[in-house]
Amino acid sequence: MNTMQLLDKALQIQPVPYWTKQLKLSRGAIHAAKTRGHLSPAIAGALADELGENYEQWMLIAAMESERDSACKSRMMRKIATGVALSLGAAGPALAHAVCILCKVD
C-alpha cells in the first residue's frame, strides 16, 4: 500500500485538474508528487478524506514514505501494514502478518 495507489484511485474517479481545484493545490503539486513517487502527508490526508478513506492512515503512510530507507522505517512500515490488514478484516495478528509478508512490505 502506497500513496501512489491512493492517487491512482482518485484519478480513476476524476482527472488531475479536478483534484487540484478540489484540494486547493498549486497546478504542479500532483505532477511533482508523481515525479517524487509519493504524496505529501497533507495531500494524502486530504485526498483520502475526499475519497471517504481513513485520512489518518494515509497521512501516516505518506509520512513513512518520505523517510529515508532504514531498519526503523522497515519495522514501522510492517506495523502499519499489519494494522491496515487488521482494519480490513484479517482474523488476527498472525493472518495480518501473513498479509504483510505477501505484500512484501519491507
Q: What angle do CA 10, 21, 5 make, to 5 degrees?
A: 20
pLDDT average, residue stretch 18-40 = 95
Q: How confident is the model at residue 101 (pLDDT cuts 50, 70, 90)?
A: very low
Q: What is the pLDDT of residues 40-95, one digit of tens each?
A: 999 999 999 999 999 999 999 999 888 888 888 788 888 777 777 667 665 555 55
Of the pLDDT bands very low, low, confident and very high (cuts 50, 70, 90), residue 29 is: very high
Which pTM does this prediction carry? 0.74
- Residue 51: C-alpha distances to residues 16, 21, 22, 45, 76 (Å): 14, 15, 12, 10, 25
The HSE-up count of residue 30 (CA atoms within 13 Å, CB side) is 21
10/12 Cα distance (integer angstroms) = 5
User: What residue spans define the domains of the chain?
Assistant: 1-66, 69-106
pLDDT of residue 94: 55
